[in-house]
């Protein structure tokens, strides 16, 4: 039976609504946009176009996966971040819009204090799918980014994303925990910036997470033990020997953990000019400091 784009949209929307899936219409539009390689507005400009059997089968598969709880980004295998497109699959955590605030603050910092011709060396700790490293390399044209992760699968995905966004020549990937891969590489006092969106969900909060996070995303990417800033402390402490004097530390934090991290940085470590930046939802999301 033939099915037009509009008929398919209406069918998919009704099915998702019946199954109590959030945002059924926009999800249906995203699915068909991905399958047909069309912008969402073009779906309606081509609403009478008949889907092929292969396109209908793919839509059925997308709907089945979404009803089972799979995240949209893993189904379409793509997501946007800071105006760029990234391949997205279960090898790494799905990029979140709030992380754009972290990236934006780093970019603004260096565009304010550096000339376009100045070279920058940046460390992205726990790079995951690579969105932070890649976006910084894309926006800060003279930067060289060192990206680490404990997952080889995540690094493979990040490398693929770097090629998609044509910055692969300015990013180096290192397998290992936090700064471990930098040992014996003569990188002391060499980085202009250390940036990270480290795991910050407490193990005790795991059961409260949404099903699509618990059942589909890699636990190592978001679970951090019993303290929401365990990884932040380690990155800040060990980062002192890798940051240049005047180098920037930029970390994303969970809701209500910013004050605890600022207190830790100001009372224990060699950082000053500490400040907290809110994301677009008004949540205090990013903590920034400069090495003495």
| 23 and 106 housed in the same domain | no
Residue 102 forms part of a structural domain: yes
| 169 and 55 housed in the same domain | no
Domain count of the chain? 2
Residue 116, pLDDT score: 59
Residue 161 forms part of a structural domain: yes
Residues 6+ apart with CB under 8 A from 263: none
Cα Rg, the chain, nearest whole Å: 21
| 58 and 118 housed in the same domain | no
Three-state SS letters, the chain: CCCEHHHHHHHHHHHHHHCCCCCHHHHHHHHHHHHHCCCHHHHHHCCCCECCHHHHHHHHHHHHHHHCCCCHHHHHCEEEECCEEEECCCCCCCCCCCHHHHHHHHHHHHHHHCCCCCCEEEEEECCCCCHHHHHHHHHCCCEEEEEEECCHHHHHHHHHHHHHCCCHHHEEEEECCCCHHHCCCCCCCCEEEEEECCCCECHHHHHHCCHHHHCCCCHHHCECCCCCCHHHHHHHHHHCCCEEEEEEEEEECCCCCHHHHHHHHHHHCCEEEEEEEECCCCCEEEEEEEEC
| 183 and 252 housed in the same domain | yes
Q: Which domain holds residue 256?
A: 92-291
Residue 78 forms part of a structural domain: no
Residue 220, pLDDT score: 87
Residue 79 forms part of a structural domain: no
Residue 48 forms part of a structural domain: yes
Q: Which two tokens stand for residue 191?
A: 């980085």
| 114 and 217 housed in the same domain | yes
Residue 83 forms part of a structural domain: no
| 144 and 185 housed in the same domain | yes
| 174 and 42 housed in the same domain | no
Question: Domain holding 205: CATH number?
Answer: 3.40.50.150
| 40 and 119 housed in the same domain | no
Residue 227, pLDDT score: 84
* 284-291 sheet: strands from edge to edge: 171-175, 143-149, 120-125, 191-196, 243-252, 284-291, 271-278
| 228 and 114 housed in the same domain | yes
- pLDDT of the chain, 292 residues: tens digit per residue: 689 999 999 999 999 999 999 999 999 999 999 999 999 999 999 999 999 999 999 999 999 999 999 999 999 999 999 999 999 999 999 999 999 999 999 999 998 887 656 789 999 999 999 999 999 999 999 999 999 999 999 999 999 999 999 999 999 999 999 999 998 899 999 999 999 999 988 888 888 888 889 899 998 888 888 788 999 999 999 999 999 999 999 999 998 899 999 999 998 778 999 999 999 999 999 999 999 8
| 163 and 264 housed in the same domain | yes
Residue 117, pLDDT score: 62
Q: How far apart are CA 51 and CA 62, in angstroms?
A: 15
Residue 164 forms part of a structural domain: yes
Residue 74 forms part of a structural domain: no
| 142 and 98 housed in the same domain | yes
| 205 and 251 housed in the same domain | yes
Residue 18, pLDDT score: 97
């Amino acid at each position: 039976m033939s099915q037009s784009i509009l008929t398919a949209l209406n069918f998919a929307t009704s099915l998702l609504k019946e199954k109590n899936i959030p945002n059924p219409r926009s999800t249906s539009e995203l699915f068909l946009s991905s399958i047909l390689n069309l912008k969402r507005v073009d779906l309606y400009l081509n609403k009478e176009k008949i889907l092929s059997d292969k396109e209908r089968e793919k839509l059925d598969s997308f709907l089945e996966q979404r009803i089972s709880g799979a995240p949209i980004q893993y189904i379409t295998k793509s997501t946007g971040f800071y105006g760029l497109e990234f391949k997205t699959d279960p090898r790494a955590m799905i990029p979140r819009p709030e992380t754009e605030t972290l990236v934006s603050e780093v970019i603004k910092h260096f565009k304010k204090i550096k000339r376009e011709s100045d070279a920058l060396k940046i460390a992205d700790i726990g790079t995951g799918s690579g969105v932070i490293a890649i976006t910084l390399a894309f926006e800060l044209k003279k930067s060289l980014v060192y990206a680490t992760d404990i997952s080889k699968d995540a690094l493979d995905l990040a490398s693929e994303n770097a090629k998609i966004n044509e910055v692969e020549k300015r990013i180096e990937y290192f397998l290992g925990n936090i700064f471990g891969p930098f040992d014996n590489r003569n990188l002391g006092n060499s980085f202009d910036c250390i940036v990270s969106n480290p795991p910050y969900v407490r193990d005790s909060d795991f059961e409260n997470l949404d099903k699509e996070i618990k059942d589909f995303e890699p636990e190592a990417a978001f679970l951090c033990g019993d303290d929401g800033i365990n990884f932040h402390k380690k990155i800040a402490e060990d980062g002192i020997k890798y940051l240049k004097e005047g180098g920037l530390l930029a970390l994303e934090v969970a809701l209500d953990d910013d004050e605890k991290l600022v207190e830790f940085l100001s009372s224990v470590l060699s950082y000053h000019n500490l400040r907290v930046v809110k994301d677009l939802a008004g949540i205090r999301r990013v903590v920034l400091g400069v090495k003495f």
